[in-house]
């Protein structure tokens, strides 16, 4: 969740759910825990009181500035020996899985 906020900025809870494929009930728990640690915060939307935005805090940014480059390097190393065609196939399969998961978790 932190990487979504780190890369995309302010998001609604629903946008985050769609990005990480978690049900909103599970998302609330994770947000609560990260908020307690000071890594993110909830902000009410001024235009629509039903909407809650989640933003990464300064402390969350400091953590991500430290760990994200290492995470990115690890991902690059993992996929280093995967051909472009294999990556394309994997992407297609994962998109289908994600679409099915989204439907099943509604």
Tracing tokens 């297609």 back to the chain, one arrives at 92
Q: What is the pLDDT of residues 1-35, one digit of tens each?
A: 999 999 999 999 889 988 887 777 788 899 999 99
- Structure tokens, 51: 């909407």
Q: What is the pLDDT of residues 47-101, one digit of tens each?
A: 888 888 999 999 999 999 999 999 999 999 999 999 999 999 999 999 898 888 8
Q: How confident is the model at residue 39 (pLDDT cuts 50, 70, 90)?
A: very high
Name the nearest CA neighbour of 13 among 39, 38, 45: 45
How far apart CA 8 and CA 2 sit, in angstroms, is 10
Q: SS3 of 41, please?
A: strand
Q: Which domain holds residue 46?
A: 2-104
pTM of the model: 0.75
Q: How many domains does the chain have?
A: 1
Burial (CB count <10 Å: 0-12, 13-18, 19+), residue 40: buried
Q: Judging by DSSP bridges, how do beta strands 52-56 and 11-12 pair with one another?
A: antiparallel
The domain that holds 92 is classified in CATH as 1.10.10.10
């Amino acid at each position: 969740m932190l990487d979504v906020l780190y890369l995309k900025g302010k998001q609604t809870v629903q946008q985050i759910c769609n990005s990480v494929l978690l049900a909103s009930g599970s998302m609330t728990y994770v947000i609560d825990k990260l908020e307690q640690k000071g890594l993110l915060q909830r902000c009410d939307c001024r235009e629509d009181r039903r909407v809650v935005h989640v933003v990464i805090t300064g402390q969350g940014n400091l953590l991500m500035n430290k760990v994200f480059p290492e995470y990115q390097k690890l991902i690059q190393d993992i996929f280093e020996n995967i051909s472009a065609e294999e990556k394309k196939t994997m992407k297609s399969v994962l998109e289908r899985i994600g679409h099915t998961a989204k439907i099943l978790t509604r």
